[in-house]
Chains A and B, each alone.
Chain A
Amino acid sequence: MLEVRELTVCAGTFRLREVSLRVEPGRCHAVLGPSGCGKTTLLHGVLGLRPVESGSVTLNGREITRWPVERRGMGYVPQELGLFPHLTVRENIRYGLEARGCRGAEWERWMEELVDVTGLGGLLDRRPNQLSGGERQRVALVRALAFRPKLVLLDEPFAALNESLRRELWWLLRTLQHRHGLTVLLVTHDLAEAYVLADRVTVLLEGRVIQQGDKAAVYGRPAAPAVAQFLGVETLQPGRVLAAGQGLVTVEVGRARLQALGDAQPGESVLVSIRAEDVLLAGEAGGGSSARNRLPARVLRVDPGHPLWRVELDAGFPLTALVTRPACEELGLAPGQSVQAWIKAPAVHLIRAEACGRGESGLFRTGGRALLSRGPEG
């Protein structure tokens, strides 16, 4: 188990401030954030590549904050992979075993298994410059896993690959992780990657932890406007609480009223965050639905996309929905058409102004205004 407590790391003019996180054994934890948010600095602090200003790093109950890199027993795959160009694949993946003096039949069996699972068997005598991108990635992964590290650190490991190769490697990493109970700390700016691989997520913005928790909770219920913006929440609108009680909140957004779960004070300003895939579209006549919010809406624009089509609506406020192509055709969606937008109350997430923390009320305002002023053209 990795435990990072209030870690402050200085990297030039940039400073990572009091970051705390914990990776349970056998779990994958993703640190998510845009480039320049301090993700790599955090990894370097954990690895011991940068001096720690304050705070501590504990691995399996042992404080290792000031230990030298080579004694920490962490497997590391950097963004550029760092394959040794002068060594063959075999020499690359055995480097850690040689350096640590791991010898014996048990290690050989483990190496064979790793090579088998990753399909590197036929490439062992090649050099890194004779490998494809996906193969290089596998070699780097196997090399980091070969000495059975207590923790595996991955820095945007699959960023350079195309979509299908990336998915294949995600699957491979997940298989390895589950089969061998690997503890993984992953750093990425890719939402999909974090969602597929991680159990828990830490959102890092400008060197600070903004939100931490189960990936579904972070994804669906961003704690701050900056998180919502980074996660690409499609509908983010300022609103005012009209009434609250029994866990149900009524919010006025533009000309519409929405019901949401949660608690807030009447009169309070909030930001309403709705993921586009939670918006269901129905014909004007409508039908039976348990959704609490049924908003009459006018279609402003339909963007064909893959795999889902994006529909911009005026529902009293700008609202975005994602629908499948068949659904789009069935409803005959076209600009100017009237439809009903159904949104279940739990899908309407409220970000409270107080929850936005120090120095972020600005983000709160600009976030809202920017989205308000955004016309049908987006």
Chain B
Amino acid sequence: MMNDAGIGGSPSDRERPGSQGRRSFAPTVLAAWAVLVVYAGLIAAALTFVEPGGLRSVLSSPRTWYSVRLSLAAATAASVLGLLCALPAGYALSRHRFRGRGWVETVLELPMVVSPAALGAMLLMAFSHPAGQWLQEHGVRFVFTVAGVVLAQFVTVLGMMVRLAKTAFDGVPVELETVARTLGASPARVFRTVTLPLARRELAAALVLGWAKALGEFGATIMIAGTMAMRTETLPIAVYLRLSAADLPGAAALIVLLVIAGLGALICVRWLSGGRSHA
């Protein structure tokens, strides 16, 4: 049997030759700290603009609370929809070799390399096509609506969520599924009783990351849903609008809300992917 202490854990958790048992300090550590300084500095800069008056006026404004509610609801809807699509798609990418697999994998990265604004503009263009217009008239209206907000966020996070779901399923040994099948379980039962429970932490992490990314989405949302107060004004758009109106304290207060939600999500993800109950 292998010594468990020797394997697992990230390299930084292990004693390395040359470190002689001390906490290692290398010039590269300075760079790592610099990263922290950059982001902590940004947050600090925003905090300097927070003032009691601005905070009070922002927190007492119904328009702010509408934005908060809209952001939470839209991000939740977009990330849940994303997960529903990511589960089968990620599973297929993890387990099957099929025609067009390479293309699907490449396209997953598209929302990351194409600007979200461009993505939103493409959505807008799609809905000005006859087919898109027909859908708008006979189905759901997306342009300048809450549905548009959800759609924009969904399109932005889908690729990432599929990739994360694929990675989650990659972590479940195929052999466990094989054994379950030999024991008489149908593929659906295998998925429900073996694959899903074993991937659930990573899938939950995918959901939280997708939610956080959707919450912060700006470019695509503003393109298709616009900036209509009490209609399509999400938190990031509210930040943009307050900044445009030179209301720095108001923008700072909203940023604090966004940072709290984002950091909360990241801590949640760290907890989900850090403490594995088994493996």
Contact = CB atoms under 8 A, between A and B. Distances in A.
A and B: bona fide binding partners: yes
Interface of A: 47, 49, 68-70, 72-76, 78, 80, 82, 84-86, 95-96, 99-100, 127, 129, 132-133, 143-144, 147
A73 B183 CA distance: 7
A69 B279 contact: no
Contacts of B183: 70, 75, 95-96, 99-100, 143-144, 147
Nearest to A94: B183
The 4 closest A-B pairs by CB, nearest first: A96-B183, A82-B179, A99-B185, A76-B182
Contacts of A68: 181
Interface in B98-154: none
B182 A69 contact: yes
A74 B175 contact: no
A129 B180 CA distance: 18
Contacts of B176: 82, 84
A317 B197 CA distance: 64
Given A70-B185, A95-B180, A82 B278 contact: no
B173 interface: yes
A74 B182 CA distance: 6
A129 B278 contact: yes
B192 to A, nearest CB: 11
Contacts of B194: 84
5 contacts: A69-B181, A70-B185, A85-B279, A99-B183, A132-B1
A144 B178 CA distance: 12
A69 B176 CA distance: 13
A75 B197 CA distance: 23
B180 A85 contact: no
Contact of B1 (A76, A96, A133): A133
B8 to A, nearest CB: 12
Nearest to A96: B183
Contacts of B182: 47, 69-70, 72, 74-76, 144
Contact of B181 (A70, A75, A86, A147): A70
Given A47-B182, A70-B185, A78 B175 contact: yes
A76 B1 CA distance: 23
Contacts of A78: 175, 178-179
B182 to A, nearest CB: 4
Pick from B178, B179, B194, B198 the residue with the most CB of A within 10 Å.
Answer: B179
Contacts of A76: 178-179, 182
Contacts of A99: 180, 183-186, 189
Nearest to B185: A99
A74 B194 CA distance: 19
Contacts of A132: 1
A133 B1 CA distance: 8
Contacts, number: 67
Nearest to A77: B179
B198 A86 contact: yes
Pick from A72, A76, A80, A99 the residue with the most CB of B within 10 Å.
Answer: A99
A144 B183 CA distance: 7
Interface in B178-236: 178-186, 189, 193-194, 197-198
Given A69-B181, A70-B183, A78-B179, 6 more contacts: A70-B182, A84-B180, A86-B278, A95-B180, A100-B183, A143-B183
Interface of B: 1, 173, 175-176, 178-186, 189, 193-194, 197-198, 277-279
Nearest to A149: B182
A49 B181 CA distance: 10
Contacts of A127: 278
Pick from A47, A68, A75, A86 the residue with the most CB of B within 10 Å.
Answer: A86
Nearest to B279: A85
A74 B179 CA distance: 10
B204 to A, nearest CB: 14
Nearest to B277: A86
B178 A69 contact: yes
B174 to A, nearest CB: 10
Nearest to A160: B1
Pick from A69, A76, A100 the residue with the most CB of B within 10 Å.
Answer: A69
A369 to B, nearest CB: 41
A85 B278 contact: yes
Contacts of B179: 76, 78, 82, 84
Nearest to B175: A82
A324 B41 CA distance: 79
Nearest to B176: A82
A99 B185 CA distance: 5
Nearest to B178: A49
B198 to A, nearest CB: 6
Contacts of A84: 176, 179-180, 194, 198
A85 B184 contact: no
Nearest to A82: B179
A132 B1 CA distance: 9
Contacts of B198: 84-86
Contacts of B278: 85-86, 127, 129
A147 B175 contact: no
A127 to B, nearest CB: 7
Contacts of B181: 68-70
A70 B181 CA distance: 5
B236 to A, nearest CB: 38
Contacts of B186: 70, 99
A48 B173 CA distance: 18
B178 to A, nearest CB: 6
A143 B180 CA distance: 10
A169 to B, nearest CB: 16
Contacts of A86: 197-198, 277-278
B173 A147 contact: no
A114 B213 CA distance: 52
A70 B193 CA distance: 15
Contacts of B184: 70, 73, 96, 99-100, 147
A95 B185 contact: yes
A84 B198 CA distance: 9
